[in-house]
Amino acid sequence: MGIDLSLIWAAIIAFGVMMYVVMDGFDLGIGILFPFVKRKGERDVMMNTVAPVWDGNETWLVLGGAALFGAFPLAYAVVLSALYLPLILMLLGLIFRGVAFEFRFKAKADKRHLWDKAFIGGSLTATFFQGVALGAYIDGFAVVERVYVGGAFAWLTPFSLFCGLALIVAYALLGCTWLIMKTEGRLQQQMHDLARPLVFVVLAVTGIVSLWTPLAHAEIAARWFSLPNLFWFLPVPLLVLLCTWALLRAVASNAHYSPFLLTLALIFLGYSGLGISLWPYIIPPSISIWEAAAPPQSQGFMLVGALFIIPFILMYTAWSYYVFRGKVTEEDGYH
């Protein structure tokens, strides 16, 4: 068969993970921004902007895990056990964050602050360890005969910790611009004021990660800086700068929608840069998608369903966002 199933599945998983980063990114970002907003009514609004959609957003993370399990079981086994502690901590963070959505509105007034803290702490923990896991993933894993042989704390490096912090500011910017789009009045103004400094911080951490990665990994440096690759990939950093400039302008002109869309573009560009650096390895630095692939019987079986079902998923997800379109105010809280 002339179809490269592994390539298609790598693309589907990459797509799923990107959907996750984009969608759960803004609702984790809202948790990260919670400490900047004190008034209960405004906090209610922040939560209500994502209440109808957050668990759909999180489902993309489940898809990422399950599809990796099915299409690249070796990668699922090695990467997940290598990242044992950060992933468990991420999951615990997501639990705190997830239950807070419901519990916060059920709690009595004297207990509500606990769920606010669970929401903030859970969002920060989940985001930080996602970033740490990402950094450790870029650093790669020691594998001998299909088994991870690095230590329990191999993921703990200055680079991975920095990636954790970087992801926090990136998700904060997503959440901030999402709220500019979905709210109005004082809360929106506050987010406007926050957006500009956040953009600069995001630009700074993106720059640091972009330099640190090739400096630490000769093969990634070679990927980017050898000719003719340099010319092919040069648009990525240039577009990042362009988007940042447009984003600053959009914020300055009090635009409602474009800041969020431009932030999405920024995230997409960063994600593409990551793909360029790592391709074609699914267990960096040396096991490719083809070496980790499940047999074609498995990948083919899954593909039939995925190609048929994912368009429907995208359709009804879009419909759900459409139903809950528009600004959320304190009066029309769903809770």
Q: Which 286-315 positions form the footprint of other proteins (CB under 8 A)?
A: 294-295, 297-298, 301-302, 305-306, 309-310, 313
Query: If binding is defined by CB under 8 A, does position 11 make contact with other proteins?
Result: no
Note whether 117 and 196 are within 8 A (CB): no
Q: The tokens of 9 are what? A: 């599945």
Q: Which of residues 53-82 bind other proteins (CB under 8 A)?
A: 53, 55-56, 58-59, 61-63, 65-71, 73-74, 76-81
Closer to other proteins at the Cβ: 68 or 250?
68
283 phi/psi in degrees, rounded to 5: -120, 85
- Nearest distance from residue 95's CB to other proteins, in Å? 4
Cβ nearer to other proteins, comparing 231 with 322: 322
| Integer angstrom CA distances of residue 184 from 42, 51, 256, 329, 330 | 10, 17, 9, 7, 10
Which residues, including other chains, have CB under 8 Å from residue 159's CB and lie 6 or more apart? Answer: 135, 138, 139, 212, 213, 216
Is residue 8 involved in binding other proteins (CB under 8 A)? no
Under DSSP, the state recorded for 200 is H
Separation CA 165–CA 181 (nearest Å): 25
Site for other proteins contains 15 (CB under 8 A): no
Q: Where are the beta strands (DSSP E) in the chain?
A: 143-144, 147-148, 281-283, 287-288
112 sits near other proteins (criterion: CB under 8 A) = yes
C-alpha distances out from residue 249 to 22, 164, 213, 241, 293, Å: 22, 28, 29, 12, 45
Task: Please report, as residue ranges, which positions from 20 to 59 form the binding site for other proteins (by CB under 8 A).
Answer: 39-41, 44, 51-53, 55-56, 58-59
Residue of the chain from 4, 8, 105, 236 that contacts other proteins (CB under 8 A): 105
Q: Is 108 in the site for other proteins (CB under 8 A)?
A: yes
Interface with other proteins (CB under 8 A), residue total 78
β-strands 287-288, 281-283: how paired?
A: antiparallel
Residues in region 142-181 near other proteins by CB under 8 A: 146-148, 152
Q: Please name the residues in contact with 105: beta carbons below 8 A apart, sequence gap of 6 or more.
A: 44, 335
Binding region for other proteins (CB under 8 A) out of 251-259, 260-268, 270-278, 325-333: 325-333
19 or 251: whose CB is closer to other proteins? 19
How many Å apart are CA 91 and CA 23, to the nearest integer? 17
Q: Which is nearer to other proteins, 197 or 305 (CB)?
A: 305
Instruction: Compare residues 53 and 289 and give the one whose CB is closer to other proteins.
Output: 53
Asked whether position 83 contacts other proteins by CB under 8 A, the answer is yes
Is 113 an interacting residue with respect to other proteins (CB under 8 A)?
no
In angstroms, how far is the first alpha carbon of the chain from the final one? 53
Query: Min. distance of Cβ 251 from other proteins in angstroms?
Result: 29
